[in-house]
Amino acid sequence: MLAAVLRDFDALVLEEVPTPEPGSGEALVRVKACGICATDYKAVMGIRRNVTFPAILGHEPAGVVSAVGPGVTEVGEGDEVVVQPSGFCGHCAHCRVGLTHYCEHSYTTVGDGPPDTRPGAFAEYMIAEVKTLYVKPPALSFDAACQTEPISGAWKGLIHMSEMQVGDDVVIIGTGGIGMYCLMVAKAAGAGRLVAVDVSEYALSTARKLGATHCVNPATCDARQAVYDILPDGPDLVVEAAGPIEAVRLMVSMLRRGTRWNVFGITTHETFELDGGLAHFLEARMDASFGTNPLAMQKALRLIERGLVDPEQAISHRFPLSEIHTAMDVMGSPERNKVIINP
């Protein structure tokens, strides 16, 4: 099969590799669509260093079951599925209480997080454990369905972790890939005023189309002051979905009494300062969110199937696997939203 193999940082190679065979409890999935996550791009560029080579990236897949391993009865050849990219044992203390993304034996299809990494979906086929498969609703395109994982992350961060409520005034810092989905989930959940913050006018124009009531560009103004001009009482919830440490610092500067804030986008080990006394008296509540779990995946599928979140609105570029190098170049451009690979 054809696969995009990362041999080293900035050394992504298209090559023929053996098609894997499913073992017990596994299925072979013919990948039809896979989104490119910023963590994939960071791995290719060497910004994210926790990568073991060679690696086949890609952890936002949807496809068709091509074959199943011994004893598998839950799915069969021809079934259209969405793949959760993180596996879990189901037996450890964390799994027993539903926190499968904390699993002591977790793995990822070369995403960020656990040290156990397995081949991902920038290939014609991939192996997936049956317990990580979800039935794709028939009406959904594969391009839309493959966005279940990032949308599940947005739902988990905003709704499950930060407990966003109807009418909350929400600020989303960074409206690129995951930020767009945070914005769409917040709108679907009944945000009052929804403020998008980004240094890219292209991203802000997309945010307006997706439902942002206000947009702020930190490159052209004092972003904190601009937000407080819009929200004189301050935000109820601030989500950092950008990645750079400057976005985290901006989020902290926006806090007022009772603000909830979610460290969502940053994955690099950088520091920011927090006034302990101020945090104490503000009673600001810090949350964070990473990865996904079966609950979040099911919630995301429902949001998409019911039309409350439409991934098609967020997709700006599509490329065949043979053009993945061009796709990665586009990922480095400010004028893109979600980029999809169609193997």
**Largest interatomic CA distance in the chain:** 62
Rounded distance between C-alpha atoms, residue 60 and residue 35, angstroms: 5
Rounded distance between C-alpha atoms, residue 258 and residue 171, angstroms: 14
pLDDT of residue 176: 86
Handedness of CA 112, 114, 117, 123 (dihedral sign): negative
**How would residue 200 be classed by pLDDT, with cut points 50, 70 and 90?**
very high
Give the pLDDT confidence of 265-277 residue by residue, as tens digits: 988 889 999 898 8
pLDDT of residue 100: 94
Tokens of 232: 């004189």
Q: Model's pTM, two decimal places?
A: 0.95
Rounded distance between C-alpha atoms, residue 84 and residue 312, angstroms: 19
Q: What is the 3-state secondary structure (H, E, C) of 273-339?
A: CCCHHHHHHHCCEEEECCCCCHHHHHHHHHHHHCCCCCHHHCEEEEEEHHHHHHHHHHHCCCCCCEE
Mean of all residue pLDDT scores within the chain? 95
pLDDT of residue 9: 95
CA atoms within 13 A on the CB side of 286: 11
Is pLDDT above 80 for 166?
A: yes
Please choose, from the candidates 289, 265, 301, 294, the residue with its C-alpha nearest in 3D space to the C-alpha of residue 87: 294
Per DSSP, which regions of the chain are E strands?
2-8, 11-16, 26-35, 55-56, 61-68, 80-83, 86-87, 107-108, 125-129, 133-135, 170-173, 194-197, 214-216, 237-240, 260-263, 285-288, 315-320, 338-342
Domains and CATH numbers, the chain: 2-147+314-342 (3.90.180.10), 154-288 (3.40.50.720)
pLDDT of residue 269: 87
pLDDT of residue 329: 97
**How would residue 145 be classed by pLDDT, with cut points 50, 70 and 90?**
very high
Is pLDDT above 90 for 180?
A: yes
Q: What is the DSSP secondary structure assignment for residue 10, as one 8-state letter?
A: T
pLDDT of residue 266: 87
Rounded distance between C-alpha atoms, residue 288 and residue 266, angstroms: 10
